[in-house]
Chains A and B, each alone.
Chain A
């Protein structure tokens, strides 16, 4: 019996799985491959993989539906959604549906590896992750993800939708170094050439609204040369 971490990779395109599976095996994982949503659902239930890599566009049950059903039956298997470029609506929704993280295709396999490690590190087996909670709280700050509203000491914060999305991503991935590039990908969905400044502007907006001093951050910490980190203790409210 091997003690290897098991990944379930669900993607209908052999162009992806044929190269990605050996890559992940080489990285030390035990990889199971399925080509559609029904089988993914079945294997998760039977084999209890440590992590699920789920493509969004699959024949039959698509990745989002698989995730919705899993979360619906309170299965909190850590999940990374793999999306195809071109679906801007996917972005906002994927986080809402309780994916622990997601990655836009085409991605660098090393980037996927880094995310897998981060998600596994954060996961507590059998427990619900912050990514699938609708309401989050941290030290006087609450975030209602469904209502798209953040409050500080009961007062609603006035934030642009992008700043709120930045806060959402940081709060659902606390204590994790999030690079500016990743925030761009998650919140903007695009790579902007002047992207790092674009992110900094929104973080500055957030800090102003939160009254957070970058020198002595209560919420958002700058990691020089690396990115940002949500420094507070986040808990799920519902």
Chain B
């Protein structure tokens, strides 16, 4: 009601002003002139009112859309979370049944190994969910970070995992002239790099190489993580940075579905951009590209 009144106010003001001008003010002026002036005031009042209504309507629509979008995001997040919880819990229930009903110690031992594995999976999911929620609260360190040095560290850590034994993982740094440092949180940036490299190794087959590249691009440092894997289906591509989203080719591959979302959020906190390009079929492959502003406070 208030909004309608506010919208109508210019119209009323215009009408009153036009009436005053036409009828009451300065009778010595030509009537036609007074009438013209009055109509002008009347029309401009109406126009302002229309503009106010239009703005209110557009705002309401935008707000409504954002609200609906947020609700939809929340619903799909819960749906995905439900899905992520279901499998390890089913496994856990089965393992507990095996534990209490199995006759041999071997079977019981196997059941407890399985139960532990499911618990660890739930624990990893919880830990990653916590990181996602923590990222909005924890204070961000703002210190100079040498990207090449950090990338070397992270590559050593990911490449050293037993699952990736024997994989081709290389680092290319375009360092003439030397890369400028970026200002930010070294640990968080390391986590983002780690997630992208881990993701590339995980989703490209054992025969495919993964290459990490860093270069300077004007005022930014660009870090690319490229793989020659099967690529990401076009339908999945717009969603891969969403929390808990699991693409069609992610089925059966372990992970919490939060790694890329975390990386994207961290890049965001550093005022950077994370994008992806992917091609399937011939000359297949995926490139994640992180653009981080150089030497400025995020």
B188 smallest CB distance to A (angstroms): 9
Q: Tell yes or no: B187 within 8 A of A by CB.
A: yes
- CB within 8 Å of A: which residues of B? 123, 126-127, 130-131, 133-134, 137-139, 141, 143, 153-154, 156-158, 186-187, 190-191, 194-195, 198
Residue of A160, A161, A189, A192 near B190 (CB, 8 A) is: A192
The main secondary structure of chain B at its interface with chain A is helix
A190 smallest CB distance to B (angstroms): 6
C-alpha spacing A106/B122, complex, angstroms: 10
Task: Given contact pairs A190-B130, A191-B127, A197-B156, enumerate 5 new A-B contacts (beta carbons under 8 Å).
Answer: A188-B187, A190-B127, A192-B194, A193-B158, A197-B190
Closest Cβ neighbor of B191 among chain A residues: A192
Docked-complex contact A194 and B158, CB < 8 angstroms: yes
Docked-complex contact A160 and B154, CB < 8 angstroms: no
C-alpha spacing A161/B157, complex, angstroms: 24
Residues in A160-199 with C-beta less than 8 Å from chain B: 160-162, 188-194, 196-198
Q: Which residues of B contact A86 (CB under 8 A)?
A: 130, 133
Docked-complex contact B141 and A85, CB < 8 angstroms: no
Docked-complex contact B194 and A193, CB < 8 angstroms: yes
Q: Chain A interface residue count: which class?
A: 10 to 19
Closest Cβ neighbor of A192 among chain B residues: B191
Residue of B123, B138, B143, B156 near A160 (CB, 8 A) is: B143
C-alpha spacing A160/B144, complex, angstroms: 12
Most buried by B among A162, A196, A197: A197
Docked-complex contact A194 and B141, CB < 8 angstroms: no
Q: Tell yes or no: A88 within 8 A of B by CB.
A: yes
Q: Which residues of A contact B198 (CB under 8 A)?
A: 193
Docked-complex contact B130 and A194, CB < 8 angstroms: no
Residues in A56-87 with C-beta less than 8 Å from chain B: 85-86
Q: Tell yes or no: A5 within 8 A of B by CB.
A: no
Pairs across A and B, CB under 8 Å, 30 listed: A85-B126, A85-B130, A86-B133, A88-B134, A88-B137, A106-B123, A160-B141, A160-B143, A161-B139, A162-B141, A162-B187, A188-B187, A189-B134, A190-B127, A191-B127, A192-B187, A192-B191, A192-B194, A193-B157, A193-B191, A193-B198, A194-B153, A194-B154, A194-B157, A194-B158, A194-B191, A196-B157, A197-B156, A197-B157, A201-B186
Q: Which residues of A contact B190 (CB under 8 A)?
A: 192, 194, 197-198
C-alpha spacing A86/B126, complex, angstroms: 9
Q: Which residues of B contact A191 (CB under 8 A)?
A: 127
A94 smallest CB distance to B (angstroms): 16
Residue of B131, B139, B194 near A194 (CB, 8 A) is: B194
B81 smallest CB distance to A (angstroms): 15
